[in-house]
Amino acid sequence: MPFQLSKMKNRIKEKREGGSVAVYEDFKYMLQDVSRIYIGAKYTYRELMQNTEMAFKFKSVIEHYLLRDTDPDTSLESDFYYMEPGSFSYRTYEQLKVKLKVSMLVDIEGKKGKKERAYREKILSMQEFAAIPLAKKKIDGIVVQELILSKLALVSFVL
């Protein structure tokens, strides 16, 4: 609760000072179902560590493995976008069987047979996402929206 209040106070303060506020609260969430945890990609690792609703085991994985070569203020979106296939973080997420929900520009057939580009959501595995070169990610306007974490893989992950 104090975390939410401090964010609200900052927004009110910035509005009073006449500054524009770009808040991406829509991509900062954590949901669970029976077999998966869905985490919004705008979270930073520091925010995930401070989130009381986050699974303790995932916090442990972040602390012991992911923060080895990643800054705590890095967002999940940034980390995945620039992640190298051979990196320690990549191998850790691969063991956790992580999938990513991304938004990407694709060519679709519009009205009167014209080709149009539109954003479509797609769920990709770590291997599929890492195989896309950085230049193609930029051209296709790929935006990482969500991290999908398997609870079974998390439970079987040995620290």
pLDDT at 8 over 60: no
Q: Is residue 7 part of a domain?
A: no
Q: Is residue 20 part of a domain?
A: no
DSSP of 67-108: GGSS-TT-BHHHHHHT--TTSHHHHHHHHTT-EEEEEEEEEE
Entry pTM: 0.78
Q: What is the CATH number of the domain that holds 61?
A: 3.30.465.10
**Token pair of 41, please?**
């990609």
Number of domains making up the chain: 1
* pLDDT of res. 27: 77
**CA distances for 93 relative to 76, 79, 82, angstroms:** 12, 11, 14
Q: Is residue 126 part of a domain?
A: yes
Please name the amino acid found at residue 106: V
Q: For 57-89, write each residue's pLDDT tens digit.
A: 999 999 999 998 899 999 999 999 999 888 899
Q: Could you tell me the residue range of the domain that residue 38 belongs to?
A: 26-156
